[in-house]
């Protein structure tokens, strides 16, 4: 039996958009800005899958319509992704030197951008977190713990104030009697 494997295709709707745990933690560590960037990043991966390439043609208006976010928010998220090595802006030049088309290259890895884009049959790499990012995560976790402790302390203080008010009422009743 002669099988032509070149004709085997998968339904794009069955494809998955995945993030490593490390990358998800990275986005979480950056709070709201990180989570908005995560949404933009996932939409860029989605677009790369639809366009069957790692080089995505997705302008701000396209991302706004897809995500329901404002232009300024999209631009901040794209800047965040670019600064952290998850996307790269590519501007082509025509043979005569004038500007050609521009697009966004989407990466799965922050460290090694070679052969890590979302297109084609390239492999997906895990996202290593460098020492600075790990320190940022630790600081954010410590701040969260401190905030939680402050909330608990405040709650217990409110409870104590309520008790004090109750004791004052009892004292007033006893003094009148």
Same domain membership, residue 44 and residue 118: yes
Same domain membership, residue 145 and residue 107: no
d(CA 29, CA 142): 11
Same domain membership, residue 141 and residue 116: no
Q: What's the pLDDT score for residue 105?
A: 92
Number of domains in the chain: 2
Tokens of 58: 């997705």
Same domain membership, residue 39 and residue 101: yes
Give a yes or no: residue 4 inside a domain: no
Q: What's the pLDDT score for residue 125?
A: 37
Q: What is the mean pLDDT of each run of 10 residues along the chain (177 residues)?
A: 62 78 92 96 91 87 94 96 92 87 83 45 42 65 65 57 71 77
Q: What's the pLDDT score for residue 122?
A: 36
CA atoms within 13 A on the CB side of 73: 17
Give a yes or no: residue 1 inside a domain: no
Give a yes or no: residue 32 inside a domain: yes
Cβ burial of 87 (10 Å; 0-12, 13-18, 19+) is buried
**Could you tell me the residue range of the domain that residue 92 belongs to?**
9-128
d(CA 56, CA 52): 9
Q: What's the pLDDT score for residue 112?
A: 46
């Amino acid at each position: 039996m002669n099988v032509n494997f070149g004709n085997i295709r998968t339904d794009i709707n069955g494809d998955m958009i995945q993030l490593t745990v490390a990358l998800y933690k990275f986005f979480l560590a950056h709070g709201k800005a990180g989570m908005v960037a995560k949404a933009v990043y996932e939409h860029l991966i989605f677009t790369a899958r639809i366009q069957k390439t790692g080089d995505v043609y997705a302008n701000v208006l396209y991302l706004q319509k897809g995500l329901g976010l404002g232009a300024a928010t999209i631009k901040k998220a794209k800047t965040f992704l670019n600064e952290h090595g998850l996307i790269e802006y590519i501007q082509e030049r025509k043979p005569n030197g004038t500007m050609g088309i521009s697009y966004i290259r989407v990466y799965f890895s922050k460290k090694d951008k070679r052969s890590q884009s979302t297109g084609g049959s390239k492999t997906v790499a895990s996202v290593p977190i460098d020492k600075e990012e790990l320190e940022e995560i630790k600081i954010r976790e410590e701040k969260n713990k401190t905030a939680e402790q402050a909330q608990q302390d405040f709650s217990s203080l409110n409870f104590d104030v309520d008790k004090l008010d109750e004791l004052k009422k009892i004292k007033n009743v006893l003094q009148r009697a």
